[in-house]
């Protein structure tokens, strides 16, 4: 299945945006396989962070001047936040850039396969814990639910996936939805 997912992602030409004034960021959607079942790893962000505190997200963060690319940013941030060594990530592809509404980021998502189980080492200042969500569950709940929510005093229309008491919403839900839609458009049985 990993090879098929890579083919699907490589066949997709990701939309790369250029928006002046936006801070660049990148995330990694870590894909794992456990007993033949694929899933994605999400982080629960701590409540002490300035942006996206307490939210469910993929590991990632802002582009730094020493980063050679946004792919490098995604891998560096994943190493810092959850202890995922870049050499242990098999990059499968890139998804479309997206814009965050209140934090002013332009985010570039990457999908990478990782070994499982993995000896994650969380940076407790940024990551409260990890959540493993089976791809089968996400696919069964795609299309994602949509609702209007109030977040930090603003009313927003948002996609969301609820999994065992965790709500995946906002930019992360959009990334998940695009990934699932690409898989489903290729072959709903993968």
Task: Please give the backbone phi and psi of residue 177, each rounded to the nearest 5 degrees, phi first.
Answer: -60, -45
Rama region for 93: left / alpha / beta (φ>0; ψ in -120 to 50; rest): left
* Rg of the Cα atoms in the chain: 16
Q: Choose among 144, 147, 148, 154: nearest CA to 176.
A: 144
Q: What is the pLDDT of residue 145?
A: 85
Is residue 28 within 8 A of residue 60, CB to CB? The reply is: yes
Q: What angle do CA 19, 20, 26 make, to 5 degrees?
A: 55
**pLDDT tens track of the chain, all 190 residues?**
899 999 999 999 999 999 999 999 999 999 999 999 999 999 998 877 555 567 899 999 999 999 999 999 999 999 999 999 999 999 999 999 999 877 789 999 999 999 999 999 999 999 999 999 999 999 999 888 888 877 667 787 789 999 999 999 889 999 999 999 999 998 766 6
Its pTM surpasses 0.85? yes
Q: Choose among 138, 178, 135, 168: nearest CA to 36.
A: 135
Q: What is the pLDDT of residue 9?
A: 97
Q: What is the pLDDT of residue 49?
A: 59
- Distance CA(149)–CA(156), nearest Å, equals 5
Beta strand ranges found along 11-88 (DSSP E): 23-34, 37-45, 56-57, 60-62
CA 141 to chain centre: 17
Q: What is the pLDDT of residue 149?
A: 72
Question: 3.40.120.10, 3.90.79.10, 3.10.20.740, 3.50.50.60: which CATH number matches 2-137?
Answer: 3.90.79.10
101, two tokens: 């509404």
Q: What is the pLDDT of residue 189?
A: 67
Domain boundary assignment for the chain: 2-137
Handedness of CA 46, 49, 55, 60 (dihedral sign): negative
């Amino acid at each position: 299945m990993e090879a098929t997912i890579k083919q699907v992602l490589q066949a997709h030409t990701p939309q790369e945006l250029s928006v002046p004034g936006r801070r660049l960021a990148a995330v990694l959607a870590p894909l794992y396989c456990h007993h033949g079942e694929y899933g994605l790893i999400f982080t629960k962000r701590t409540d002490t962070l300035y942006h996206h505190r307490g939210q469910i997200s993929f590991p990632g963060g802002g582009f730094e001047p020493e980063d050679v690319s946004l792919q490098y940013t995604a891998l560096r941030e994943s190493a810092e936040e959850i202890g995922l060594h870049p050499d242990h990530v098999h990059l499968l592809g890139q998804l479309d850039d997206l814009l965050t509404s209140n934090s002013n980021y332009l985010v570039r998502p990457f999908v990478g396969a990782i070994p499982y189980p993995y000896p994650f080492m969380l940076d407790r200042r940024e990551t409260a814990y990890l959540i493993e969500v089976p791809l089968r569950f996400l696919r069964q709940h795609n299309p994602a639910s949509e609702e209007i929510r109030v977040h930090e005093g603003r009313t927003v229309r948002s996609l969301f996936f609820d999994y065992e008491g965790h709500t995946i919403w906002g930019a992360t839900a959009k990334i998940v939805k695009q990934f699932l839609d690409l898989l489903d458009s290729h072959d709903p049985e993968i």
